[in-house]
Structure formats: C-alpha cells, structure tokens
Amino acid sequence: MRFLALFLLFLPALAQPVYLRLPQALLEGVRQGEALAFYGLPYARAERFAPPEGVEPRGLLQAHTPGPACPQRPGLSALFGSPLPPQDEDCLNLNVFLPLRPPPPGGFPVMVFIHGGGFQSGSASEPIYGGAQLAAQGVVVVAPNYRLGPLGFLPWEGGGNWGLQDLVEALRFVRRYAAHFGGDPNNVTLFGESAGAMLTCTLLAVPEARGLFHKAILQSGGCEEVRPLAADLPFGRRYAQALGCQDLDCLRRLPLSAFFREPAVLTQAASTLPFSLSPFKPHVDGRLLPQTPLRALEAGEAAPVPLVVGSNQEELLPFFGAGSWLEVERLLRPVLREKTEAVLAFYRARYPKPQEAYWRLETDRLFHCPALAAARAQAPHAPTYLYRFAFRSPDLPFLGSFHGLELAPLFGNLDQMPFLPLFLSGQARERAEEMGRILRRYWVSFAYQDAPKGWPRWLEASEGEALLLDLPPRPLPLAALDPGSCALF
C-alpha cells in the first residue's frame, strides 16, 4: 500500500529525522514517542475574504515545526499560558500524527480534530493538542487550522463562511492523502471541543462535507451556535464602515492590524456581546449551510453518521458569574428575551446565590442542554452515545470539571499549559493518566468500530443510558443529565 512509501532514516537510538513521501513531496518530520509527527503541512491557500483553494504539497517540506497560526485576538488558552505559533494570514496548514508501526489492511482509522476558541482564537498547533499519544493507540490524527474571527466569519452577502469552507477543504486534503499516511480515507472520525465541537456539528449539515467523514464526536459544544445570515448582514456592513470600507475589495487592501483595532463596533463584537449573539460564527446562508445543524440532524440529513456527544459537569468555573440578580437579568435578557423571567424563576428557586445560579444556568444553556438536544436529534437516525465528563484534578478539586479539562487526559499532554498546574502532584498525575487511558480507549474504539468500547459497556442513548466519565466510569440514566430547564431555553 502507499504507506510503504514511508521510509525511516534512523536506528532505534537515533530518532530523527523521519521522512514520508507523498506523490510530489518529501516530508521531513519528527518521532514523538511511539508516533511520527508532521507539522505545518499546507492544505489550501486563500486570499482574504475568498474561498480556499486546495494545494498539493511539493518538494522537500521541513515539517518538524508548527506552521503559522491564523490571525486572532488572544483567547482564553493563550491568556492562561498556552503558546501560539507566529500568526500569518497564510495559515491554512495542518498537523499529522501517525503510529510508529505498519498499518493494518485498509489502513488506520483517521481522527480529525477541530480546535476550539469561540470561533475567534486558537491553533491546531497549541501544545495541548499534540496528537502523538492518541496516534500511538493506532489512529492517524489530523489537526487543521481554519480562519478565525472577522477573517473567517464576517457576515457578508454570499455567506462569509470562509472558516467553515477551510475545514471542508481540510477534509478534502484528508481524503486525498490519508492512504499516504497509512490511514483509511473511508473511515474518518471528526471530533472537536467547544467551538470545534460546534463546527463539527455544523459540518454534519454541510452538503459539501458529506462523505468526507463518517463519525463525529462533540465535546462540550452543541448544534445551535450558528447565526442567520440575513440578521447579521447589517453588522457586517457596520463593521466594514468602521474600517472605512464599503466592500470586500476595500477590506482586502487594509493592513492586517486594522482588523484588531478597537473602534466601537469591533469592541462590541469581540468583547461585550454574549457568545450566543456574536456575529463571528457560521452562518445559515442557504448554500454552504442550508439549515441549522440541529434541524438537519432532526431531519436525518446526517443519518449514516454515528455520534458521541457530551459535556463537562461544571463547564464554567464556579466563581464565574454575576454579583446580583439585577446583573444576572442584565446579562441574560439580550439572549433569552421573553424567556428571561421563566428561566430566572427556575434557577432562583434552586440556587439562592446569584453567582452560582448564573454559572449553572449558563452551563446548562450553552453545554448540557445542547448536548442532550444533539443526542435526541441524532439517536433516531444513527448510533448515538451520550456522556458527562466529571473528572477533576485532585490537587484543585474546587475548579470542578471545567470547560476543556478533558483535553489534558485525552491527548495526554499533562505537562502543557494551561493544564500543567492541575497535575503537579504524583497522585493527580496518576489519576489523570488513568483517565486518559480510559478516554483514548473509548474514542479510538469508536473510530474503529462505530461504537465506544470498554468497561463499563457504553449503551446507546436510545437505550436510556449515558456514561459518566470519571474514575471509575459508570453508567448513568439519561434522565439524570437533564437539569429540568432545557425546555425553557
């Protein structure tokens, strides 16, 4: 098979360099433990505010260091110490990790990971996403960059879904080259966390992406964080006018720094609008994205695709929230509108402190309820599995199972920021490593067999059961995951 074009120029004691031949390129990568890593491979080029065009890797490519990150404002992971590569608009590159052993007949399953960052920040090359330990379990791991913020999702006539188009092009690259990496192009699992999970679900509703992946995992992100294009077009025009432009040609001529200044309209979009109202998201445009992802799932548009979906027990940190009920109402009314009073009454009856009520409400609204909705929509059409991640650091248990925590054990990069302080003690590290082995077993078996296998047995959501991912993992009645408020949102 074409994977035999891989030749390793090292003895056991000499781990670098390693090479892999593609039809028109020779890749120079690195060995990482029991995996090989190839960084920064270009999969597309794109002019600003234009669709991506796929590229063919050519010549000798030194793929041992990350490619550029897409331009962005600092996100949460960067603010907490996760390093980003240098930024450049020519950022449509991806990383590939593959097992250090010959592939089985037909090739390894391929797992394509979409990073989070609220559609405005992040990079596939953040060290927390290093895929070597996951690949060592017998899968090819691919992690692409995609355009972010206004450069990826500015609402404009014709769509503005440039970041979403980037990911479709990345999946086409995987289709073309998976076999050269020892992977099976007919067995691709798409998975993502936070905005990456939302993009994964969005791609389930994109006709151009059908057949490019075959299974999906949504980690802490549902299927409803898209925006109607018509409603956001006025914002796009105001945004351009704030930069002194009336059309895309003018915006293309601006220096990159112009998109990260702070005129009022930019500040509002980037900082003060609630996440659900941010216009920098995929847009239902009638073409690339014909309908909302949740409606597409309900209609059976993703019928062949098995799904794993879940959320973390706390998601938002316990000290996140508002200091008074008036502030809670002020924050929620733009999002909930006429539902505000009913939702507030529900949470005030259960949580007397406004701060706790707010973070629990937002955890339910943004994560727990969308996970349930996605599972209920897909379960009639394909095998669907629901989880709740409840593992927490023994060293800092008061932080709970916060948003993104599962990434550390899943990828096994416990020494990387922002998770390093959570696993400094021997006990915390041992428990996180055990949690990681469990997660990788379930995720990889799902990629191989269309069902997450392990102990305990993980039943389908249609059987009324979910899995609590903790130490030890254990079955959980599906009803236990419903906070009772989902129908109110």
Cβ pair 4, 12 in contact under 8 A: no
Q: If DSSP codes are grouped into helix, strand and coil, which group holds residue 28?
A: strand
Q: For residue 24, give the amino acid letter.
A: Q
Nearest to 165 by CA among 302, 52, 68, 72: 52
Q: In this predicted structure, what is the pLDDT of residue 149?
A: 95
Query: Is 318 exposed, middle or buried (CB count within 10 Å of its CB: 0-12, 13-18, 19+)?
Result: middle
Spatial neighbors of 161 by CB under 8 A, at least 6 apart, are: 153, 282, 283, 285, 288, 289
| 315 is a catalytic site residue | yes
Cβ pair 223, 373 in contact under 8 A: yes
| 194 is a catalytic site residue | yes
State how far the Cα of 174 lies from the Cα of 188, in Å rounded to an integer.
Answer: 9
| 115 is a catalytic site residue | no
Of 123, 194, 445, 485, which one is the catalytic site residue? 194
Cα separation values, 206 from 92, 180, 201, 288, Å = 20, 26, 9, 6
Q: Which CATH class is domain 2-488?
A: alpha beta
Cβ pair 53, 45 in contact under 8 A: yes
Q: Could you tell me how many residues make up the chain?
A: 489
Nearest to 40 by CA among 112, 134, 123, 107: 123
Encoded tokens for 267: 């500040």
Cα separation values, 204 from 183, 185, 186, 207, 288, Å = 21, 17, 16, 8, 12
Q: Does pTM top 0.85 for this prediction?
A: yes
Q: In this predicted structure, what is the pLDDT of residue 265?
A: 54
Please state, as a whole number, how many other Cβ atoms lie within 10 Å of the Cβ of residue 84.
20
Of 115, 283, 403, 445, which one is the catalytic site residue? 403
Q: Return the axis-axis angle of helices 325-336 and 340-348, rounded to nearest 10°.
A: 140
Q: For residue 341, give the amino acid letter.
A: E
Q: If DSSP codes are grouped into helix, strand and coil, which group holds residue 429?
A: helix
Cβ pair 161, 35 in contact under 8 A: no
Q: In this predicted structure, what is the pLDDT of residue 319?
A: 67
Cβ pair 309, 217 in contact under 8 A: yes
Q: If DSSP codes are grouped into helix, strand and coil, which group holds residue 129?
A: helix
Encoded tokens for 208: 């151009």
Residue 27 φ/ψ region, left for φ over 0, alpha for ψ in the -120 to 50 degree band, beta for the rest: beta
DSSP letter string, 187-223? EEEEEEETHHHHHHHHHHT-GGGBTTB-EEEEES--S
Q: In this predicted structure, what is the pLDDT of residue 240?
A: 95
Give backbone dihedrals phi and psi of 454, rounded to 5 degrees, phi first.
160, -170
State how far the Cα of 76 lies from the Cα of 317, in Å rounded to an integer.
Answer: 13
State how far the Cα of 133 lies from the Cα of 233, in Å rounded to an integer.
Answer: 43
Of 315, 362, 406, 460, which one is the catalytic site residue? 315
Cβ pair 452, 385 in contact under 8 A: yes
Q: In this predicted structure, what is the pLDDT of residue 264?
A: 52
In 211-273, which ranges are E strands?
215-219, 227-228
Encoded tokens for 292: 């909302």
Cα separation values, 381 from 189, 202, 252, 304, 434, Å = 17, 17, 43, 7, 33
Cα 456 to chain centroid distance, Å, stands at: 26
Give backbone dihedrals phi and psi of 440, rounded to 5 degrees, phi first.
-65, -35
Pairing of strands 183-193, 108-114: parallel
pLDDT per residue of the chain (489 residues) written in tens, 0 to 9: 444 344 443 334 345 689 999 999 999 999 999 999 999 999 999 999 999 999 999 999 999 999 999 999 887 777 777 889 999 999 999 999 999 999 999 999 999 999 999 999 999 999 999 999 999 999 999 999 999 999 999 999 988 899 999 999 999 999 999 999 999 999 999 999 999 999 999 999 999 999 999 999 999 999 999 999 999 999 999 999 999 999 999 999 999 999 987 655 554 544 456 788 999 999 999 999 999 999 999 999 999 999 999 999 999 876 667 889 999 999 999 999 999 999 999 999 999 999 999 999 999 999 999 999 999 999 999 999 999 999 999 999 999 999 999 999 999 999 999 999 999 999 999 999 999 999 999 999 999 999 999 999 999 999 999 999 999 999 999 999 999 999 999
Q: In this predicted structure, what is the pLDDT of residue 271?
A: 45
State how far the Cα of 437 lies from the Cα of 276, in Å rounded to an integer.
Answer: 34
